[in-house]
């Protein structure tokens, strides 16, 4: 699903003392099938931006195109329900939105609500449960009896069961332990590839953006600050520092080595093992640049 | 390290009689002005420990002592004067209608004189960089800002022990760093003990000592360097090690022997430089 923002601004509570412009003149394009990471500080406009993607908010000015749907200030979108069936948003701490008596009912709520017939709903629930890697035995259990990580997976399954084309993830790993974080991100990456989704990941984690995204957009104070491939954006250390963002740790370390040893070492997507190999050559003096 | 300010003696806890034990025979001590990080996978009992520390929960077996005072229903109010707690979700701990009122709440409760109150209010808000938001309503703040106010509220009361229960989990990396820096400054200034319950490995490296929890038991208790040296075992119990430790281990595998276990970039670079010069 292709997305474009054209000079989009959004102001909360206009013409009141609380008026606040959260997004300012933002233009960007996200191509179909891409995995885009959106990064920015608290208050940079990330949450406001994603609420435009399924029409929870309409721009105060400018235009948002999501596939064949267009949002603008002048009029409400007629096909908004249809849009929402194609855009799945996993909000922060989605497990707080669980409400049904059983896991099955909770996952089935979305598709049923969008008018999917009963028989198909059953199949979709099974598929979604499989996608989030939960066992079938859980279907009859109350979602509230599950562990935190399982609850989150159930909530995500509910979004997947609607079979969205665009999946928006707002800090999906917050509050999970390191192992849980890794499993969750691997799961989304797999889904992205298997189902040919367009995925937007809102994150604070430079490491996740570097590991999973093919396109990075950095927001600052409601405006687009940087955009490009992760390896290009994240090596612009000075620009990132200006808005008080860190580069991923591996890139930071490589810069430190470069400064200390005066060698030509750069980030090119190497793993820790490969980096260790390069470092070993440098400190042993086998380095060809010396 | 000075005398102990907190002591867990063979503590057992479960949330109901027919439920499994969440903590099993947990014993440890925390010294005055010590910084202890508690880590463990989700469900390992970390947060239960935090709640036991200031009497939000009581153990079924064993004792918890705060400065020699046993935590029980009679003593919780004295205990809570000494143990300040910051939770993960600040929405659950706001009471004031403005940032200023919220931070002042704890001070009012303790009958701090007005002038002193104003001074503490200003300094604790400045410490978390929220001094420009004194009159804002908490619900208008972002998650990170709310958390900073919550931390200011605890700092203002200047307890002897501060517990941060995944308090930085909802902040962005920069916010995290600032909060850690703030907490560090306060720790040095007021000589408090710190207990940080966290998944953030770089936060763990700042601590004096780490308590590793696994399935309700103390799995290990040691300085960060010694804990992270057990990288394979940590992986088995669902934990990870920091980037620097991982890289150092890979270097050791390639015959780059480091004299000490580095915990940050500077330490690792220093070791590499030393190796380079002596090669």
> Which chain A residue has its CA at the smallest distance from B140's CA?
A18
Q: Note whether residue B56 is domain-resident.
A: no
CB A52 within 8 A of CB A12: no
The helix (run of H) or strand (run of E) holding residue B272 is helix B265-277
Q: Note whether residue A13 is domain-resident.
A: no
Residues of the domain holding B259: 242-279
What pLDDT score was predicted for residue B172?
73
What pLDDT score was predicted for residue B209?
96
| A77 vs B20: CA distance, rounded Å | 52
What pLDDT score was predicted for residue A244?
82
| A256 vs A247: CA distance, rounded Å | 12
| Chain A residues near residue B92 by CB distance under 8 angstroms | none
Is it the case that residue B230 has pLDDT exceeding 60?
A: yes
What pLDDT score was predicted for residue B143?
67
Q: Note whether residue A275 is domain-resident.
A: yes
Nearest to B143 among A42, A179, A244 (CB): A42
Is it the case that residue A269 has pLDDT exceeding 80?
A: yes
Residues of the domain holding A272: 248-290
The β-bridge partners of A223 are: A220
Q: Note whether residue A110 is domain-resident.
A: no
> Rg of chain A's alpha carbons, rounded to an integer?
21
Q: Note whether residue A273 is domain-resident.
A: yes
Residue-wise pLDDT for B2-12, tens only, equals 688 999 999 99
| A163 vs A53: CA distance, rounded Å | 16
B274: contact with A, CB 8 A cutoff: no
The whole-number average pLDDT for the span B252-279 is 88
What pLDDT score was predicted for residue B2?
62
Residue-wise pLDDT for B79-127, tens only, equals 988 898 988 876 777 888 899 999 999 899 888 999 999 999 998 898 7
Is it the case that residue A162 has pLDDT exceeding 90?
A: yes
CB B262 within 8 A of CB B244: yes
Q: Note whether residue A189 is domain-resident.
A: no
| A96 vs B88: CA distance, rounded Å | 15
**Mean of all residue pLDDT scores within chain B:** 88
Q: Note whether residue B177 is domain-resident.
A: no
| Chain B residues near residue A257 by CB distance under 8 angstroms | 269, 272
Q: Note whether residue B218 is domain-resident.
A: no
What pLDDT score was predicted for residue A288?
52
Q: How many domains does chain B divide into?
A: 1
Residue-wise pLDDT for A249-265, tens only, equals 999 999 999 988 888 88
- Band (A27; pLDDT cuts 50, 70, 90): very high
The whole-number average pLDDT for the span B258-267 is 88
Q: Note whether residue B275 is domain-resident.
A: yes
What pLDDT score was predicted for residue A290?
45
What pLDDT score was predicted for residue B101?
93
Half-sphere exposure of B222 (CA within 13 A, CB side): 9
What secondary structure letter does DSSP report for B26? E
Which is higher by pLDDT, A176 or B255? B255
What pLDDT score was predicted for residue A285?
80
User: Nearest CA to A128 among A110, A140, A144?
Assistant: A110
B231: contact with A, CB 8 A cutoff: no
Q: Note whether residue A287 is domain-resident.
A: yes
φ, ψ dihedrals at B98, nearest 5°? -130, 165
Q: Note whether residue B55 is domain-resident.
A: no
Cβ distance A177 to B199 less than 8 Å, yes or no, reads: yes
| Chain B residues near residue A45 by CB distance under 8 angstroms | none
Furthest CA-CA distance within chain B: 65
Is it the case that residue A289 has pLDDT exceeding 60?
A: no
Cβ distance A175 to B145 less than 8 Å, yes or no, reads: no
| Chain B residues near residue A204 by CB distance under 8 angstroms | 171-173
What pLDDT score was predicted for residue B238?
82
| Chain B residues near residue A152 by CB distance under 8 angstroms | none
Cβ distance A180 to B43 less than 8 Å, yes or no, reads: no
Residue A180 distance to chain B (closest CA, Å): 8
Q: Note whether residue A280 is domain-resident.
A: yes
Q: Outline where DSSP puts E strands in B198-271.
A: 209-214, 217-222
Residue-wise pLDDT for A105-140, tens only, equals 999 999 999 999 999 999 999 999 999 989 999 999
Residue-wise pLDDT for A30-87, tens only, equals 999 999 999 988 778 998 999 999 999 999 999 999 999 999 988 888 889 999 999 9
Between A94-103, A162-171, A236-245, the lowest mean confidence (pLDDT) is in A236-245
Q: How many domains does chain A divide into?
A: 1
């Amino acid at each position: 699903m292709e997305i474009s923002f054209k000079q989009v601004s959004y102001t909360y509570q206009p013409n009141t003392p609380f008026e606040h412009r959260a997004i300012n003149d933002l233009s960007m394009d996200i191509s179909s099938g891409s995995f885009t990471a959106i990064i920015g500080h608290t208050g940079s406009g990330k949450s406001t931006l994603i609420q435009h993607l399924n029409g929870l908010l309409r721009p105060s000015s400018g235009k948002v195109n999501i596939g064949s749907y267009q949002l603008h200030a002048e009029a409400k979108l007629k096909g908004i329900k249809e849009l929402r069936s194609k855009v799945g948003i996993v909000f922060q701490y989605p497990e707080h939105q669980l409400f049904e008596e059983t896991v099955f009912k909770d996952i089935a709520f979305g598709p049923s609500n969008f008018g999917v017939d009963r028989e198909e709903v059953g199949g979709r629930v099974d598929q979604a449960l499989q996608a989030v890697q939960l066992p079938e035995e859980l279907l009859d259990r109350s979602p509230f009896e599950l562990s935190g990580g399982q609850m989150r997976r159930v909530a995500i399954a509910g979004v997947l069961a609607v079979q969205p084309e665009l999946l928006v993830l707002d800090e999906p790993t917050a509050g999970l332990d390191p192992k849980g974080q890794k499993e969750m991100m691997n799961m989304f990456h797999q889904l992205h590839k298997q189902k040919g989704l367009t995925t937007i990941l809102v994150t604070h984690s430079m490491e996740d953006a570097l590991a999973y995204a093919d396109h990075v957009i950095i927001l600052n104070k409601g405006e687009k600050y940087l955009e490009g491939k992760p390896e290009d954006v994240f090596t612009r250390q000075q620009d990132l520092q200006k808005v008080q963002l860190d580069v991923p740790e591996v890139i930071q370390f490589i810069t430190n080595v470069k400064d200390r040893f005066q060698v030509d070492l750069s980030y090119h997507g190497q793993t820790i093992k490969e980096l260790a190999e390069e470092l070993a050559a440098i400190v042993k003096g086998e380095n060809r640049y010396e | 390290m000075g005398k102990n300010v907190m002591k867990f003696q063979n503590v057992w806890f479960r949330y109901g009689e027919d439920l499994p034990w969440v903590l099993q025979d947990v014993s440890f001590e925390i010294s005055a002005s010590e910084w202890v990080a508690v880590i463990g996978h989700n469900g390992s009992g970390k947060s239960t420990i935090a709640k036991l520390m200031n009497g939000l929960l009581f153990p079924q077996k064993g004792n918890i002592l705060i400065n020699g005072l046993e935590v029980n229903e009679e003593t919780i109010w004295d205990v809570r004067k000494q143990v300040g707690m910051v939770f993960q979700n600040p929405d659950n701990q706001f009471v004031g209608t403005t940032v200023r009122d919220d931070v002042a709440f704890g001070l009012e409760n303790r009958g701090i004189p007005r002038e002193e109150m104003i001074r503490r209010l200003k300094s604790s808000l400045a410490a978390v960089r929220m001094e420009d938001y004194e009159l804002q309503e908490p619900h208008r703040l972002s998650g990170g800002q709310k958390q900073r106010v919550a931390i200011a509220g605890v700092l203002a009361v200047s307890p002897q022990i501060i517990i941060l229960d995944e308090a930085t989990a909802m902040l962005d990396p920069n916010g995290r760093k600032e909060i850690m820096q703030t907490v560090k400054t306060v720790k040095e200034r007021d000589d408090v003990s710190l207990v940080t319950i966290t998944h953030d490995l770089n936060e763990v490296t700042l601590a004096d000592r780490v308590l590793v929890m696994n399935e309700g038991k103390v799995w290990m208790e040691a300085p960060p360097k010694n804990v992270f040296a057990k990288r394979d075992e940590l992986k088995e119990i669902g934990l990870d090690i920091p980037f620097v430790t991982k890289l150092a281990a890979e270097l050791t595998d390639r015959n780059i022997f480091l004299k000490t276990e580095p915990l940050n970039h500077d330490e690792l670079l220093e070791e590499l430089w030393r190796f380079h010069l002596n090669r």
